[in-house]
Amino acid sequence: MIFRVFVNFKPGILDPEAEAIMQTIKNMGNKSIEKIIKGKFFDIYVDDNKDYFKEIEKISENLLSNPVIENFKIIKKN
Q: Domains of the chain, with CATH numbers?
A: 2-77 (3.30.1280.10)
DSSP symbols for 13-25: ---HHHHHHHHHH
13-63: pLDDT as tens digits: 999 999 999 999 999 999 999 999 999 999 999 998 788 999 999 999 999
Strand (E) or helix (H) holding 55: helix 53-59
Confidence at residue 50, expressed as pLDDT on a 0 to 100 scale: 84
Q: Rounded to an integer, what is the distance from CA 67 to the centroid of its chain? A: 12
Read off the pTM: 0.84
